[in-house]
Structure 1
Amino acid sequence: MNFAATLLLAFAMSTDAFAAAIGKGTSLHKPRFSDALRAGVIFGVIEAITPLIGWLVGSVAAKYVENWDHWLAFVMLSILGLLMIRNAVRAPGEDEADRPPRKHSFWNLALTGFATSIDAMAIGVSLAFIDNNILVTASVIGLATLLMVTTGFMLGRVLGSLAGKRAEIFGGLVLIGVGTSILFEHLRA
């Protein structure tokens, strides 16, 4: 696989993470660039590791992963999206209005990153059967995801500051939409 194909694959693999990052960015009150970069690193590392796992597991596990990866991504992203929507529509408590802006926890970001990268594991399995340097490919996928998520997070910041709670609802709907899209693509195939 040549570098151009690797680059195209990397950006294609990071589009789900980009959409999820927009949703995550909308749910925060004016996230800083450091917040966006933190999310980008978490997503990028996970997105780089999953094709390596897939490549190591090889074709034996491909049959099992392909049967449920889309359902797992759909359920995880839908739950995260519903939680975002719930947080947006519930009335703030008395002390909640005075709290400093919240940040997404590491585990929340990691779970979202994993949910958007399950398909990368299946890609890793297929990469085991072609002439490919998996370390270079996984690194490029991770870097592309870091760039896309950081950009998406900051784009979500703009949307969030313009639309407030509606943006958080939109972000939740985006996560549900990404999960539904993953499910639809796999069921259609």
Structure 2
Amino acid sequence: MSLWEIFLLAVALGTDSFSLCVGLGMGKIKRKEIIALSLTVLVYHIVMPILGWFAGDLTGRFLGKVATYIGGAILIYLGYKMIRHGISQEEELPHVTYNLVGLLLIGLSVSMDALSVGFTLGTVKVNLWFVALITGIVAGVMTLSGLLLGRRVSKVLGERAQIVGGLILLLIAGKLIFRG
């Protein structure tokens, strides 16, 4: 694989995280949470291809389904809460990203494709560690970019941004749950 192909692969793997994080960024996410989530996704996108390389296809499919459904359920909950808060503006938004378990589950849910890629990297002559590092860095930057973009949009749209962000999260949850 050329460097260009590795970069394109990394961008493709980071798109789920980017789109999810635009929605999350429209909620009232703190700087500390932005950094924590970006680093979590970065680490997952380094580790998952390596695990995929060593793990069997059956294990990957099982973990993929479980993580996808858990991640989808979390996104439905977050989306609902954001929409409800945007409409009523009475209750406090949940900060799942601040919670360690929430961070890990969100990171896992957007990194399952990287696990699958790890399975296929075993068939291609490539430096796995280099590909995993590039994938992680690109996914981390895309996560950070999505969160910051969502935050900026939130400032422009005000409280309505939470409704938009909630709808984005619900759409992504639907994609996660119903795509496979």
After superposition, where does 1:74-153 map in structure 2 within 5 Å?
Answer: 74-92=72-90, 104-107=97-100, 108-153=102-147
**Aligned CA-pair RMSD:** 2.7
In the TM superposition, what is the alpha-carbon distance from 1:154 to its structure 2 partner? Answer: 1.1
In the TM superposition, what is the alpha-carbon distance from 1:105 to its structure 2 partner? Answer: 0.2
In the TM superposition, what is the alpha-carbon distance from 1:11 to its structure 2 partner? Answer: 0.5
Q: Are the equivalent residues in 2 in contact too, given 1:37–1:150 (CA < 8 A)?
A: yes
Q: Are the equivalent residues in 1 in contact too, given 2:22–2:150 (CA < 8 A)?
A: yes
TM-score if structure 2 supplies the norm length?
A: 0.81
1:27 partner SS = coil
TM-score if structure 1 supplies the norm length?
A: 0.77
Q: Which residue of 1 aligns with 2:18?
A: 18
For residues 63 and 160 of structure 1, the distance between their equivalents in structure 2, rounded to whole angstroms, comes to: 36
For residues 33 and 72 of structure 2, the distance between their equivalents in structure 1, rounded to whole angstroms, comes to: 25
In the TM superposition, what is the alpha-carbon distance from 1:148 to its structure 2 partner? Answer: 0.8
Which runs of 5 or more residues in structure 2 are unaligned?
Answer: none
In the TM superposition, what is the alpha-carbon distance from 1:57 to its structure 2 partner? Answer: 0.7
In the TM superposition, what is the alpha-carbon distance from 1:25 to its structure 2 partner? Answer: 1.2
1:49 partner SS = helix
Closer, same or farther in 2 for the Cα pair 1:75/1:126, shift >3 Å? farther
Q: Which amino acid aligns with 1:133?
A: N
Closer, same or farther in 2 for the Cα pair 1:146/1:62, shift >3 Å? closer
Q: Which residue of 2 aligns with 1:175?
A: 169
Q: Deviations over 1:103-162 (max 9, x none)?
A: 940433332222111222122222223222221111111100111111111111111111
Q: Which residue of 1 aligns with 2:50?
A: 52
Q: Are the equivalent residues in 2 in contact too, given 1:88–1:165 (CA < 8 A)?
A: yes
